Structure 1
Amino acid sequence: MDQSTAPAQIEFRNVTKLYGHVAAVQHLSLTVRRGEFLTILGPSGSGKTTALMLLAGFVAPNEGDIVISGNSVAAVPSYRRDQGIVFQSYALFPHLTVGRNLEFPLEMRGMKAAERATRVDRMLERVHLQELGGRMPSQLSGGQQQRVALARALIADPPLLLLDEPLGALDRNLREQMQGEMKRLHREFGITTVCVTHDQEEALTLSDRIVVMRAGRIEQTDTPEALYDKPATSFVANFMGEANILENPGFKVEFDVAPPADTVAMIRPERICVATPAAPKRADADQRQSITGTVDDMIYAGPLRKYRVRVGSSMLIVREQVAAGQPIFRPGAEVSLDWLRSDVRFVVA
């Protein structure tokens, strides 16, 4: 289904949650479409986890309403909501085998033993754990435990899947592997999924849409591509990767269009090209802005090389893919920087 035309399955309607006099979530209004993978992203204290706990039914709103499939659930306790939940700790039953962990939610629903066994076998196969049904959780790797937690959340075919920092306990390589696994499962099940994370890369990889929260409010909601390429505010620009905010930079910034009122210019580090001052001009030089600067620092990060270059009163970040035969600029080197004027974006400061 085209997500842009899919019907709404979840609605936050002007929801506020207070802890004492502190508003963890303020006037939150948000729609999640059926079959969508939506990620709520933000720093600590932004309200993202509280929003998920409200949706899960673990806390109740002080104001507003939460609607699922057309029905208000603001006063419905968690155990009466038909949803699968995966926590960062996985919360597997340590005294039960993998198979019994998967069987437990089916048993609680009164499903007959033969059907439970069939479902468990089928689910173990779908998450590639068919040989591990008799093991205890303590005998599994972190990635295997994560797949068991996902399988347990999905086995009863709930209409909603809620993920609370689901990959936070994994190392980088395993986290990237499990991102691919989660995308595959989402495509296969087509289940409406709401995920909370502070990991920008995870959000960009998994999501159909991303909600960026700040101080209990939504800062911006959009597709991963739009959030990264066209952030609305300097907060989103800096939170979704690195950004050069060109506010009073100490040099004239050239534009193709007039900047909107009350905005500042921004350009992503990978959009800036670095070269020797004597390098020949590019074929599209008339569409570019060129300046010179001095390398302050160079950081090698495997496939990427990052420079901090002082230009005027600004320190610009430049990021390039490492390639054979590429010049390497050490601190103190004079360099030429240039970028397409069309790559400059305007954000609210």
Structure 2
Amino acid sequence: MQIVNVKLPISLAEADALKPNDVPAHVEFRNVTKMYGAVAAVRDLSLTVGRGEFVTILGPSGSGKTTALMLLAGFVAPTQGDILIGGNSVAAVPSYRRDQGIVFQSYALFPHLTVGKNLEFPLEMRGIKAAERLPRVNRMLERVHLEDFGDRMPSQLSGGQQQRIALARALIADPPFLLLDEPLGALDRKLREQMQIEMKSLHQEFGITTICVTHDQEEALTLSDRIIVMRAGQIEQTDTPEALYDRPATAFVANFLGEANILDIHDFKVKSTVESQPGTVPMIRPERISIAALTDQKETDAEKRQYVTGRIKEMIYAGPLRKYHVRVGSGVLIVREHVATGQKVFKPGEEVRLDWLRSDVRFVAI
């Protein structure tokens, strides 16, 4: 966790940037570019994170998401542009003077200190007296359900417990904002899901402005008030999780955030309640498609639906879900349905009928 050490001498530029102000705490990037030689890791990035928001920056490797977080943390400096925290430029403020909480994928707990001393460290660095530190440490340990672990060493904790302590250490000094760098990447799936619930609960309780970087789409959808999808150093789209998933602006976002069927590659005319725009292609999510035997009765709202026939290429069983790859003409459609008792299971080679509401078709930019 990065800390402010008020005893060190500071420059006039730093002192001016750290003055208290009346602007609500928020984070802003203004046309920020970060070059590494001839390569732009981030290009002309502009975004604002409101006070108390949980924003996730999502993208594949090389998209610039981690560079954006490192710029905000002060670990690297922008080549061009400005970064503001609480309405003040922090371009002249080094990392160790930015009052922020940071949680890394590796947790970065001090291995030679007990859990309690790990939590006490940021309070001690801020000049808080010992008599005041212990009650705050105990309250925070209780909050993360590890009240009996204060005397243990980090090596004696499980991965999930270390993650909770790392979060507790980042939050204990009430920083104005919290940075999370792939915070759950080192955990197995079940622990990740548990920690997602815990992190969401902590954010709601503390109300701290949080910027998270991840490549995990499910994690982003679960945790975020808003998601920023990055590609090649630039923002591809930003919106709420529901809006991004249901109304992706581009084929890249549609395919990166879940699975998507791009329908223009198939040998049938797509019917939709929305008119297509130049430079767009029709798309539908796999779970919006129904699958049935050719002899099954059609839905009562058949006039609102589109029907096509195909042949099962592959069936994948995944516990609560069953996924079909269905060859339709020269292309393949992905169909995803929840497993239910008495449900018909189709085998490779069987002919089936697929249908979907025309209103579920979306048009995305290529």
Compute the TM-score of the two structures, normalised by the length of structure 2: 0.93
Equivalent residue in structure 2 for 1:28, among 18, 36, 45: 45
Alignment of 1:92-241 (within 5 A): 92-241=109-258
Structural RMSD (CA): 0.9
Structure 2: how far apart are the matches of 1:12 and 1:43?
21
Residues 183-241 of structure 1: per-residue CA shift (max 9 Å, x gap): 00000000000000000000000000000000000000000000000000000000000
% same residue: 78
Structure 1: how far apart are the matches of 2:90 and 2:274?
47
Q: Is the 8 A contact 1:8 1:32 kept in 2?
A: no
Q: State the 1:75 CA deviation.
A: 2.2
Q: State the 1:8 CA deviation.
A: 6.6
Equivalent residue in structure 2 for 1:266, among 275, 280, 283: 283
Question: Which residue of structure 1 aligns with residue 100 of structure 2?
Answer: 83
Question: Which residue of structure 2 aligns with residue 281 of structure 1?
Answer: 298
Q: Is the 8 A contact 1:8 1:31 kept in 2?
A: no
Q: Is the 8 A contact 2:24 2:86 kept in 1?
A: no
Structure 1: how far apart are the matches of 2:202 and 2:97?
25
Which contiguous aligned blocks of 4+ residues in structure 1 show a shift greater than 3 angstroms?
none
Structure 2: how far apart are the matches of 1:117 and 1:67?
34
Unaligned runs of at least 5 residues, structure 1: 1-5
Q: Is the 8 A contact 2:154 2:162 kept in 1?
A: yes
Q: State the 1:42 CA deviation.
A: 0.2
Equivalent residue in structure 1 for 2:28, among 2, 5, 11: 11
Residues 318 and 164 (structure 1 numbering): CA distance in 2 closer, same or farther, change over 3 Å? same
Q: Output the amino acid matched with 1:180.
A: I
Compute the TM-score of the two structures, normalised by the length of structure 1: 0.97
DSSP-derived class of the 2:82 partner: strand
Structure 2: how far apart are the matches of 1:210 and 1:101?
31
Unaligned runs of at least 5 residues, structure 2: 1-22
Q: Is the 8 A contact 1:228 1:240 kept in 2?
A: yes
Q: State the 1:76 CA deviation.
A: 1.0
Question: Which residue of structure 2 aligns with residue 48 of structure 1?
Answer: 65
Q: Is the 8 A contact 2:24 2:87 kept in 1?
A: no
Equivalent residue in structure 2 for 1:290, among 307, 323, 330: 307
1:322 aligns with 2:335: no
Residues 13-53 of structure 1: per-residue CA shift (max 9 Å, x gap): 00000011100000000000000000000000000000000
DSSP-derived class of the 2:192 partner: helix
Q: State the 1:248 CA deviation.
A: 3.1
Residues 105-150 of structure 1: per-residue CA shift (max 9 Å, x gap): 1111111000011110111111111000000000000000000000
Residues 288-323 of structure 1: per-residue CA shift (max 9 Å, x gap): 000100000000000000000010121000000000
How many equivalent pairs are there?
A: 344
Residues 116 and 7 (structure 1 numbering): CA distance in 2 closer, same or farther, change over 3 Å? closer
Question: Which residue of structure 1 aligns with residue 83 of structure 2?
Answer: 66
Structure 2: how far apart are the matches of 1:215 and 1:248?
26
Q: State the 1:260 CA deviation.
A: 1.6
